Amino acid sequence: MAAVYALTWLCTVIICISHVCSMPTTCRLQKRLVEKCHSDLEKMGGRFPLHCLEESVPVPFPKGAFEFSTSQQVVALEKTIYLTLTHISSLFDEDGFPDNWKNVEDFQNIIYRQIEENQCIMKKTLDSQEDFLKREKALKEYFDKISAVLKEKNFQGCAWEFVRKEIQITLQFILNKDLKDVLFSSRG
């Protein structure tokens, strides 16, 4: 009987440890998931279609929203990236993706996962609310323009390719920044 209790206790400990070790890192955006989203977008539809070039619309990327020079701006940057993911999610809530796009649901699920697991980022306090409000405004204007192009072009294939290209640029910009204090990397 003592052996059964010991075995039960040991199994319980192993299960608890496995749950703790497999728990996602909360309140830390995961770099590998951002990389996966970027990769999925690249593979989703291949190269930007040449016939869509004439319909391409210039939308200036809000680089300033992602700039930071002091450690006090890290929280503002975390919030900016989190808001970027929520804007991306909103764009991809629309229907009418091109038929040739692959793994759209996988992409949406990863974005949604990052948003769900990191809602707490928006509760973090800032040293400068004004700095964040400028970032938020720039992001909103950028994504409003992207959304307007999508609607203006009636959600046609080239409009979606434009959206995909802009989101790739956005994610690549985030990944190219030195964000070790913002994006959690499980690789160290």
Residue 187 vs residue 5, higher pLDDT: 5
Q: In this predicted model, which residue has the larger pLDDT, 153 or 94?
A: 153
pLDDT in tens, 97-133: 888 898 899 999 999 999 999 999 888 887 677 888 8
How far is the C-alpha of 49 from the C-alpha of 38, rounded, in Å?
Answer: 18
Q: Is residue 75 part of a domain?
A: yes
Q: Is residue 1 part of a domain?
A: no
Domain count across the chain: 1
Full domain range(s) for residue 77: 26-184
Say what the pLDDT of residue 53 is.
Answer: 86
Q: Does 78 fall in a domain? A: yes
Strand partners, 29: 183
Cβ-count burial of 180 within 10 angstroms (0-12 exposed, 13-18 middle, 19+ buried)? exposed
For residue 175, tell me if it sits in a domain: yes
* Each residue's pLDDT tens digit, 36-53: 999 999 999 888 888 888
Positive or negative torsion for Cα 33, 34, 35, 41: positive
CATH of the domain at 103: 1.20.1250.10
Tell me if 97 is assigned to some domain.
yes
Q: What is the pLDDT of residue 68?
A: 77
What string of H, E and C letters represents the secondary structure of the chain? CHHHHHHHHHHHHHHHHHHHHHCCCCCCEEHHHHHHHHHHHHHHHCCCCHHHHHHCCCCCCCHHHHCCCCHHHHHHHHHHHHHHHHHHHHHCCCCCCCCCCCCHHHHHHHHHHHHHHCHHHHHCCCCCHHHHHHHHHHHHHHHHHHHHHHHHCCCCHHHHHHHHHHHHHHHHHHHHCCCCCCEECCCC
Q: Is residue 73 part of a domain?
A: yes
- Residues 112, 89: contact at Cβ < 8 Å? yes
| pTM score over 0.75 | yes
Phi-psi category of 161—alpha, beta or left, where left has phi over 0 and alpha has psi -120 to 50?
alpha
